[in-house]
Structure 1
Amino acid sequence: MGLQHAELSDRILGGWLGRIAGNMLGKPVERGEYWTRERIDRYLRRTDALPLTDYLPPPPPDAPPGEFELRPEWPSCVRGRINGSCRDDDVDYAILGLHLLESHGFSFTTEQVGEMWLRRLPYLQTFTAERVAYRNLANGLKPPQVASHDNPYQEWIGALIRADVFGWTSPGDPSRAAALARRDAVLSHQGNGVWAAMWAAALISAAFTASGPRDAIGTALEQIPASSRLARTVRHTTALYEAGADWSDTLDELASRTGELHWIHSVPNAGVITAGLLYGEGEFTSTLALTVRGGLDTDSNGATAGSVAGVLRGAAAIPAQWTEPLRDRVRSAVFGFDNARIGELAERTVRLAVTA
Structure 2
Amino acid sequence: MGNDGTPGPDLEDRVLGGWLGRIAGNMLGKPVERGDVWTRDRIDGYLRRAAALPLTDYLPEPADERDALALRPEWDRCVRGRIHGSCRDDDVDYAILGLDLLETHGFGFSTEQVGELWLLRLPYLQTFTAERAAYRNLADGLKPPLTATYDNPYQEWIGALIRADIFGWTCPDAPRRAAALARRDAVLSHAGNGVYGAMWAAALISAAFTAPTVRQAIDSALTVVPASCRLARTVRRVVSLHETRLSWEDTLSTLSEETAGLGWIHTVPNVAVLTAGLLYGDGDFTRTVALTVRGGLDTDSNGATAGSVAGVLTGAAAIPGQWKDPLEDTVRSAVFGFDGARISDLAERTARLARTSAGPALDTLPG
In structure 1, C-alpha distance between the alignment counterparts of 2:11 and 2:58, rounded to whole Å: 27
Which residues in structure 2 correspond to 1:172-191 (within 5 Å)? 172-191=173-192
CA contact (8 A) 1:129 1:156 kept: yes
1:212 to partner: Cα distance = 1.1
Matching residue's letter, 2:180: A
In structure 2, C-alpha distance between the alignment counterparts of 1:338 and 1:69, rounded to whole Å: 28
In structure 2, C-alpha distance between the alignment counterparts of 1:233 and 1:153, rounded to whole Å: 19
In structure 2, C-alpha distance between the alignment counterparts of 1:317 and 1:104, rounded to whole Å: 33
1:65 to partner: Cα distance = 3.4
Matching residue's letter, 1:56: L
Aligned residue number for residue 124 of structure 1: 125
CA contact (8 A) 1:273 1:301 kept: yes
Aligned residue number for residue 95 of structure 1: 96
In structure 1, C-alpha distance between the alignment counterparts of 2:167 and 2:61, rounded to whole Å: 35
Q: Which runs of 4+ in 1 moved over 3 A?
A: 64-68
Aligned residue number for residue 253 of structure 1: 254
In structure 2, C-alpha distance between the alignment counterparts of 1:257 and 1:5, rounded to whole Å: 39
In structure 2, C-alpha distance between the alignment counterparts of 1:66 and 1:106, rounded to whole Å: 45
Aligned residue number for residue 104 of structure 1: 105
Find out whether 1:317 has 2:323 as its counterpart. Answer: no
Equivalent of residue 35 in structure 1, options 35, 38, 43: 38
Aligned residue number for residue 350 of structure 1: 351
In structure 2, C-alpha distance between the alignment counterparts of 1:250 and 1:40, rounded to whole Å: 17
In structure 1, C-alpha distance between the alignment counterparts of 2:8 and 2:54, rounded to whole Å: 36
Q: Structure 2: 5+ residue runs without aligned partners?
A: 2-6, 358-367
CA contact (8 A) 2:62 2:68 kept: no
Percent identical pairs in the alignment equals 74
TM-score relative to the length of structure 2: 0.94
Over the aligned positions, Cα root-mean-square deviation in angstroms equals: 1.3
In structure 1, C-alpha distance between the alignment counterparts of 2:177 and 2:8, rounded to whole Å: 20
Q: Structure 1: 5+ residue runs without aligned partners?
A: none
Find out whether 1:70 has 2:71 as its counterpart. Answer: yes
CA contact (8 A) 2:332 2:340 kept: yes
Aligned residue number for residue 21 of structure 1: 24
In structure 2, C-alpha distance between the alignment counterparts of 1:347 and 1:169, rounded to whole Å: 11
Which residues in structure 2 correspond to 1:281-292 (within 5 Å)? 281-292=282-293
Matching residue's letter, 2:52: A
In structure 1, C-alpha distance between the alignment counterparts of 2:274 and 2:89, rounded to whole Å: 19
1:30 to partner: Cα distance = 0.2
Matching residue's letter, 1:231: A
Matching residue's letter, 1:44: L
1:301 to partner: Cα distance = 0.1
Deviations 1:128-157 (A, max 9, x none): 000000000000000111000000000000
Deviations 1:318-352 (A, max 9, x none): 00000000000000000000000000000000110
Aligned residue number for residue 164 of structure 1: 165
1:32 to partner: Cα distance = 0.1
TM-score relative to the length of structure 1: 0.97
Number of paired residues? 352
Find out whether 1:220 has 2:235 as its counterpart. Answer: no
1:5 to partner: Cα distance = 11
CA contact (8 A) 1:43 1:68 kept: no
CA contact (8 A) 1:237 1:275 kept: yes
In structure 2, C-alpha distance between the alignment counterparts of 1:174 and 1:154, rounded to whole Å: 23
Aligned residue number for residue 212 of structure 2: 211
Find out whether 1:54 has 2:57 as its counterpart. Answer: yes
